[in-house]
Structure 1
Amino acid sequence: MPQLKESELEVLRILWEQGPQKPAEIQEQFAWIIENGTLRSVLRGLVESGHATREKQGKAYFYRASASKRNMLSKMFRRMADVFTGGSPAELITQLVQAEKLSPDEIEQLRQIAQDEPKRPKKKQRK
């Protein structure tokens, strides 16, 4: 899976949060200033790669994320685990927790998730 660029991820974030949007609406919600031509190029790339779809409604085109947020997160997480820990999701989570300054509430939330999660069979480590 080719890595998505920061602008592509920003478009997907907006579409996941807001649903179908016209390019001007996407541009207004960008976390940084993006030129119209650049945004249209990003949108074209997302459609061509299958991460987004485009549908004409009246005179306007609306863009929608076709890749689910959960699926994209899972793929990116697996890629990070491969790169940083040789494929171990648990080790990646451990390293992230150790690297970040978590509040007591956040630590408690992680404990709760760990306790509530049903035990699953261990998967073999990918190489």
Structure 2
Amino acid sequence: MSPKNANQPTESELEILSILWNVGPATVRQVHEHMPRTVGYTTVLKLMQIMAEKGLVTRDESERSHVYAAKQKRETTQKKLVKNLLDRCFGGAADQLIMQALSAKNLSAAELAEIRTMIDEFERKRNA
């Protein structure tokens, strides 16, 4: 992993971050109970320790069971991951990224309308 991406979450780390974003600060045991797939407790513990070292989570050590929390909001992490994908895979071409995202799933008319509404809102805010 390059130093530039050293604090990018892995797939397993994103699973843990999703749990922390959804349930809030939690102990390793609580995160382990919410894991969407079978993973050993010690694996979750080690992942969360690594995540703390990488700066992805904070760790409150004031209680016997340490409590972990996501260091950044979900949206901030998503934005960084998309920016990284945009740069690495699409050479910064946002239109190509969007076209691939739109073609990756058969969108309903309602989903397309919602996307149009989001784009209109984005333009309004940008031009304000």
TM-score category, normalised to shorter length: 0.7 to 0.9
Q: Which moved more, 1:63-72 or 1:18-27?
A: 63-72
1:70 maps to what in 2?
75
Structure with the higher fraction of residues in helix conformation: 2
| Rounded Cα–Cα distance in structure 1 between residues aligned with 2:80 and 2:63 | 35
| Rounded Cα–Cα distance in structure 2 between residues aligned with 1:68 and 1:109 | 23
| Rounded Cα–Cα distance in structure 1 between residues aligned with 2:89 and 2:67 | 37
Question: Counterpart of 2:123 in 1: which secondary structure?
Answer: coil
* Structure 1 runs not aligned, ≥5 long: 122-127
| Rounded Cα–Cα distance in structure 1 between residues aligned with 2:108 and 2:41 | 39
1:106 maps to what in 2?
111
- Using the TM superposition, give the Cα deviation of residue 80 of structure 1 relative to its aligned residue in structure 2, in angstroms: 1.0
After TM superposition, where is structure 1 displaced by more than 6 Å over at least 4 residues in a row?
none
Corresponding position: 1:4 with 2:6: no
RMSD: 1.6
| Rounded Cα–Cα distance in structure 1 between residues aligned with 2:90 and 2:55 | 29
- Using the TM superposition, give the Cα deviation of residue 112 of structure 1 relative to its aligned residue in structure 2, in angstroms: 1.0
Residue identity (%)? 27
Q: How does 1:15-54 map to 2 (within 5 A)?
A: 15-54=20-59
Q: Please, what TM-score do these two structures have when normalized by structure 2? A: 0.86
Which residue identity is paired with 1:32? R
* Structure 2 runs not aligned, ≥5 long: none
Question: Counterpart of 2:44 in 1: which secondary structure?
Answer: helix
Q: Please, what TM-score do these two structures have when normalized by structure 1? A: 0.86
Instruction: Count how many residue pairs are aligned between Structure 1 and Structure 2.
Output: 121
